[in-house]
Every structure is written in structure tokens, then in C-alpha cells.
Amino acid sequence: MKLQRKNRLRALSLGAVAVSGALALTACGSDDTGGTSGGGDTTKTSSIKCDDAKGELLAAGSSAQKNAIDAWVKNYTAACKDVRINYNPSGSGAGVTSFLQGQTAFSGSDSALKPEEIKQSPKVCKNSQAIDLPMVGGPIALGYNVPGVDDLVLDAPTLAKIFDGKIKTWDEAAIKKLNPDAKLPSTKIQPFHRTDESGTTDNFTKYLKAAAPGDWKYSGGKSWQAQGGQSATGSSGLAQQVKQTPGAISYFELSYAGSDINTVKVKTQASQPAEATVDNASKAIAEAKIVGTGQDLALDLNYTPSAEGAYPITLVTYEIACAKGNKADTLPATKSFLTYIASEDGQALLKQASYAPLPDEIASKVRSTIAGLS
């Protein structure tokens, strides 16, 4: 089973080569250069409607969705040659800030807008407000580097204790109990967390809080709150640290695991531990409920699913845009690009880049909402 997974991920990596040459339009200046990008299918551009879209479209935010954005940008700009898209994967917190300051046409965030951010948004959304448009789903993988161990199961309480510094070596009793057949070394555990504000951190800690409330006492949010451990910037920074540090464990989107980072299987209420795969993330996201009001489509994710295979540590990345009051010079391109990425063709690219497409019911509501942007 592990060999099959390795081969599958290698295939994803090979597919990324075809995309890498077309990413010149992606923003520079971030360390988060991404892991395995999805191979854009340029044969499916007939459904892209450019309409009056033209000029440069600035966007920023979630590094989690960067690999998806890269593939989408390649296809979209091949069809709409009068549009240039510059997406800076600066992190969810920075992306929302830049949007609320009027610096970008839209932003990407792995967490829905906070009430205070929505209240602030009429400053840039004239006579309206910003809304959450769910667009990209996927598993938050727990990558690890434990010499001699290529199959590892952990549960929420154990993970909470690892990232809170309460479990310090890989051969401690709690880990042994979950992995009776593994040859666990006495190697010191090196947990890594994000330095920058991150929706990935927010979602990971929401999982710990929901699934292990007795062991994770922090309130959560985009900034890491637990003491100890080590840190790195961006998902790519964390992935690099896991690759080069024996004993390391960290959290990042599955696409950053690539072909050479082992990922943890997570014990849930189901009979078998859940592996971090796109399909298993989709099973969990299918249980999400829309809790936003009006045109806002913020979701409430279930971090303790009981369905067989449902992977509990998932995130949904939102595109943040104005419901109304968008700038006249960027509205056509914003609406055209968002319409494409929410379309069936746009969503179909996600699996190639280790992301989970939106469930049909949610995707339909997103498309309808985008059609009404003004």
C-alpha cells in the first residue's frame, strides 16, 4: 500500500513539470514556492468566458492553494490573453489584510472572515461587504521523518501532546500503543509550526481543539499559540524542515508532501485510521454545513467525522471578494477568473494537484453567487 502511494505521488510530481514553465505570471517575493503543482489541462479552455476581462489582476493570500492557482492561471491566461494574474502566496492573514486595505481584487484565505473583518470590509466594498466563496478543499497532511518508520498512526490526543511538547520521543508509550508493530526509535520529536499567520495553522488547531479538547487548551487562530517546538515560514518551509530533520513532524497541505515525505494516518471514530488523500478529505468536507448569511458561504467543517475513510484534518480555502462595490477596472477579470475556477472544468483540475473539488451542492451555490458579483 505504501509503495502504491509513493508511485501515485511520483506521478503527481512528474505532472508538475509540465506546469512549471508556465508560472511566470505568479507573484514573486515569497519563500512559498510550492510542492507538487497540478498539470493544467489546456485542452479544456473552451468553457472559459473572458467577456470584458483585461489588465492586471492582483491577488494574495493562502499559500495552501498556490499550486491550484498556478494550474488555473495557466489555463485561464491561455484563453484570456488580455489578462495578467499576479497571485502572491503571502499567507491567509496577510492576504485578508491586503484585501481590506484595497490592495488586491480578491484574496485567498484558509479561514472564513471574522465578524470584525466583515464589519471593516465596506471600506473597500462600497455599500456592501466582503463574502467568503469556498473554492479549494484538501487534507492537511502530517508529514514526518522517523528513520525506519514508513507507516505511522496517531490520534488527536497524541498529536496534541506532541505539538504541545508533552510527548518528547518517538518511542513513548502513547505512540507505541497506536503502532504495536513499528520499530519506533528513541529519537527526539522535533515538531515544527508556522512562523507566519496561517489558515493552515487555524484549521489544524481547530481539529486539535475539537478532537482533543482535554489535551489542547489553546483558543486557536492563525497564529501558533503553543510554547516550544520550532518554526518555519510557509508550507514549503515546513516541508523542507521535515525532509532534512530526523525526528521532525509538521503540518502542511498534501501537495507539499510530494513523493518523499511520509504522512501520518489519523485514528478517528471509524474502524480504520484515515489516510491523507484527496478522496478521504472529500468525504469529510461533504459533511460541512454552510453557516454564512446572505451571499456569504462560510462553512462549518466537521473535525470529528465517523464515516469510514473520512480524513478529519481538512481545510477549505475561500476566495474573499466584494459582493458588490468591486472596482470597475478589475471587476470583469475578477468575475471571469472566479467563474472559471468554480466551474466544472476548473474544479476538475484540483485532483491533479492533490486538492479536493467542492461537493456539487456547495459548488453550485458558489457559481450562482459569483454570477451576482457587481
Question: What domains can be seen in the chain, in order of their start residue?
Answer: 2-137+321-371 (3.40.190.10), 140-283 (3.40.190.10)
Q: Are 212 and 160 in contact (CB under 8 A)?
A: yes
Computed over every residue of the chain, the mean pLDDT equals: 88
Kindly tell me if the per-residue pLDDT of 353 is higher than 90: no
Is the pLDDT at 363 greater than 60? The verdict is: yes
112, 299 Cβ separation under 8 angstroms? yes
Stretch 288-308: mean pLDDT? 93
pLDDT of residue 13: 38
> Model pTM greater than 0.85?
no
Q: What is the mean pLDDT of residues 262-266?
A: 98
> What is the model's pLDDT at position 3?
41
11-26: average pLDDT: 34
Share of the chain above pLDDT 90, in %: 79
- From the list 249, 247, 227, the residue with the least C-alpha distance to 238 is 249
* Element holding 142 (H helix, E strand): strand 130-144
SS3 230: strand
Contact yes or no for 311/285 (Cβ under 8 A): no
Are 130 and 117 contacting, i.e. CB atoms less than 8 angstroms apart? yes
- Mean pLDDT in residue range 126-153: 96
Q: What pLDDT score was predicted for residue 259?
A: 86
pLDDT at site 44: 59
* pLDDT at residue 132 is higher than 50: yes
H-type alpha helices, the chain: 2-20, 66-79, 92-100, 115-120, 156-163, 173-178, 199-211, 234-244, 278-285, 331-342, 344-348, 360-371
- Helix, strand, or coil here: 122? helix
Q: Per-residue confidence at 76, pLDDT binned at 50, 70, 90?
A: very high
Sign of the CA dihedral running 215, 221, 225, 226: positive
pLDDT value of residue 12: 39
Q: How confident is the model at residue 278 (pLDDT cuts 50, 70, 90)?
A: very high
Higher pLDDT among residues 13 and 101, named by residue: 101
Specify the pLDDT at position 15.
37
Asked if pLDDT for residue 31 goes beyond 60, the answer is: no
pLDDT tens per residue across span 202-248: 999 999 999 999 999 999 999 999 999 999 998 999 999 999 999 99
**105 in Cβ contact with 130 (< 8 Å):** no
